[in-house]
Structure 1
Amino acid sequence: MTKNTKIIVILIAACVLLTVIPFLVSKNADFGGADDAAGDVVAELAPDYKPWATPIAEIILGGELPGETESLLFCLQAAIGSGILFYGFGYLVARKKYSKEG
């Protein structure tokens, strides 16, 4: 096993552990978003708080986005971000590979 292979295996194992350990630590944890948690804290600290801005999508559509649309937009954002990230990785690998051969 080369040094790079060992590093990759260790990083993959760390990612798996970071994903699995939270499930093992707390059996009855809820998957709540940060927005929900922040809204609960604001409601607790200042019950009469009124938001000073309205999301643009709510202004255009006249109401909140459906949950499916929010999920779609989140997945689209994740896909675009991972595409950019892995394009960068591919570029760096190819640059290194072809600079040695050239």
Structure 2
Amino acid sequence: MQTSQKENWWLVAAVILLAIAPLIFVRGEYGGADGEAQEAIAEIQPNYQPWFNPILELPSQEIESLLFVSQGAIAAGTLGYIIGLYKGRTEKANQKANQKANQKD
């Protein structure tokens, strides 16, 4: 096996380990920062009134999670597309440069 393939497998194993480790070692509930922020504000300033109200009240926490994950998936897809687009353009430019260099020879 080539060195780069070994490195890739080690990287994949490290990513899997990093994804699984919190599930094994972290005990307790997973919570978002919104709830903690509300508690901190209530302690510091009990009379605080929010400046804005939510535009849309979602019926359940699951739908809120679905929208959050969907946003992340759309962003990841867009970012992957842009990276692939620029990589493809670079490779195409390199191929053209190689063809011109070969024609001169």
Aligned residue in 1 for 2:32: 33
Could you tell me how far apart the structure 1 residues matched to 2:77 and 2:32 are? Answer: 24
Task: Give 1:49's aligned amino acid.
Answer: Y
What CA RMSD, in Å, does the superposition of the two structures yield over aligned residues?
2.4
Return the offset for 1:80.
1.5
The DSSP-based 3-state class of the residue aligned with 1:20 is: helix
Alpha carbons of 1:39 and 1:94: their partners in 2 closer, same or farther (altered >3 Å)?
same
After alignment, is 75-84 or 16-25 more displaced?
Answer: 16-25
Aligned residue in 2 for 1:98: 92
Aligned residue in 1 for 2:74: 80
Task: Give 2:83's aligned amino acid.
Answer: F
- 1:65 paired to 2:58: yes
Return the offset for 1:9.
4.5
- 1:15 paired to 2:9: no
Could you tell me how far apart the structure 1 residues matched to 2:21 and 2:71 are? Answer: 26
TM-score, normalised to structure 1, is: 0.68
Return the offset for 1:87.
0.3
- The CA deviation string for residues 29-70 of structure 1, in whole angstroms up to 9 with x for no partner, is 21101111111222222222221211222xxxxxx2122432
The DSSP-based 3-state class of the residue aligned with 1:91 is: helix
Return the offset for 1:14.
4.2
Aligned residue in 1 for 2:55: 56
Aligned residue in 1 for 2:45: 46
Larger Rg: 2
Gap runs ≥5 in structure 1: 58-63
Q: 4+ residue runs of structure 1 moved beyond 4 angstroms?
A: 5-11
Could you tell me how far apart the structure 1 residues matched to 2:93 and 2:6 are? Answer: 24
- Give me the identity figure in percent: 40
